[in-house]
Amino acid sequence: MSHQFRTALASDGPLVDDELLTITEAAAILRTPVATLRYWRHIGTGPHSFRIGRSVRYWRSELIAWLEQQSSDPQAAH
């Protein structure tokens, strides 16, 4: 399986490699069913995703940022 990477600026300045993930890989990281990610995408919530052709993709750094936001958001638990 080939992975795609991007180089992005981290908040503290140094360059980091970012991995492009499939919906299945994103679901594994989030420990949630693929169907849940599809539903979140449908209703416009959840981590940022985008299409490449017919495939949905996620950047690993954006998944991590979304998780951190969810853990610090007091409304996320409701």
pTM: 0.73
Longest dimension (CA), the chain: 38
SS3 62: helix
pLDDT band at 17 (very low <50, low <70, confident <90, very high): confident
Is 66 exposed, middle or buried, given 0-12, 13-18 or 19+ CB atoms closer than 10 A? middle
The total domain count for the chain is 1
pLDDT tens digits along 28-78:
999 999 999 999 999 999 999 999 999 999 999 999 999 999 999 777 655
Q: The CATH number of the domain where 60 resides is what? A: 1.10.1660
DSSP H helices, the chain, are 23-30, 34-43, 60-72
For residue 41, the enclosing domain spans 4-77
Please list the residues that pair with 50 across neighbouring strands. Answer: 57
Instruction: List all residues 6 or more positions away from 4 whose beta carbon is below 8 Å from its beta carbon.
Output: 19, 20
